Amino acid sequence: MNQKLYMVSLGPGDAELLTLKALNAFKASDVICVPTKSEDNSFNKSISYKIVQDALTLLDMKKTIIPVYSPMHFVYEDWVNEAKVILEATQKYQTVSFVTLGDAGVYSSIYYLLDIIKKKDTALYDSCEVIAGVTSFSAASAQSKKALCLGDEALSIKPINPRSEVHTTEILMRPKIGMDTTSLGEGDFYTYENMYLKDAKTTPSKIERVKKYMTLFIKYAQRD
């Protein structure tokens, strides 16, 4: 059985802010794993559950929902238990979605879960697809008709209550064609060129010279 796992970003709350990729992942899934903070596995307090139900209504579909108890205490053992529920689901069903609020790349537990899943089932990890979504702050900016960054401004996202030293991910955009990238510094760089377009290319390092305007660099935060 070729198992498939989707990590689906739900956007900030409105099902209309789900992507087509998210809806297609739900369509393809046999079950959808939905986090809940309730110990009794009820969904009374789960925003994610409401979005998933709204999405299934839009799709005019019914899917089995598997609750994933997620106390959000930032405890490794909890992530192990959450990953266990997802792994068990993939042993029973061929295609499984797990959902996360906003965009998966921003303060979501999915990368803690994926680290654990990678150790327990590399093939499943390799088959896993993370679906990008609308962040809470993109939606907030749109609601208020206020740009997040204009002209030469930068954008900063910070944890209000950090538990340890704050490391920063830098997103570097709007390069000049032909520019030498030495000045961008060193670190855990990825280069993304023409994403989703013709000649799309992702390089897991910093390219030396910019060839296309549609190039963005991410220097990922230092992680152990």
- Residues engaged in binding ligand SAM (CB under 6 A): 12-13, 101-103, 106-108, 135-136
Q: Work out how close the CB of 137 gets to ligand SAM at its nearest, in angstroms, rounded to a whole number.
A: 6
Q: Work out how close the CB of 133 gets to ligand SAM at its nearest, in angstroms, rounded to a whole number.
A: 7
Residue 98: Cβ within 10 Å count: 31
Are 3 and 127 spatial neighbours (Cβ–Cβ below 8 Å)? yes
Using the minimum distance from each CB to ligand SAM, give the nearer residue, 38 or 136: 136
Q: Work out how close the CB of 150 gets to ligand SAM at its nearest, in angstroms, rounded to a whole number.
A: 21
Are 55 and 26 spatial neighbours (Cβ–Cβ below 8 Å)? yes
Q: Work out how close the CB of 34 gets to ligand SAM at its nearest, in angstroms, rounded to a whole number.
A: 15
Using the minimum distance from each CB to ligand SAM, give the nearer residue, 44 or 143: 143
Q: Work out how close the CB of 170 gets to ligand SAM at its nearest, in angstroms, rounded to a whole number.
A: 18
Burial of 197 (0-12, 13-18, 19+ CB in 10 A): exposed
Across 70-197, the runs of DSSP E, i.e. the strands, are 95-100, 129-131, 170-172, 188-193
Residue 117: Cβ within 10 Å count: 23
Residue 185: Cβ within 10 Å count: 11
Using the minimum distance from each CB to ligand SAM, give the nearer residue, 13 or 71: 13
Using the minimum distance from each CB to ligand SAM, give the nearer residue, 102 or 175: 102
Element spanning 117, H or E? helix 110-120
Using the minimum distance from each CB to ligand SAM, give the nearer residue, 93 or 137: 137
Using the minimum distance from each CB to ligand SAM, give the nearer residue, 14 or 180: 14
Q: Work out how close the CB of 131 gets to ligand SAM at its nearest, in angstroms, rounded to a whole number.
A: 13
In order of 83, 112, 127, the CA distances from 90 in angstroms are: 11, 18, 12
Q: Give the residue closest to ligand SAM by C-beta.
A: 102
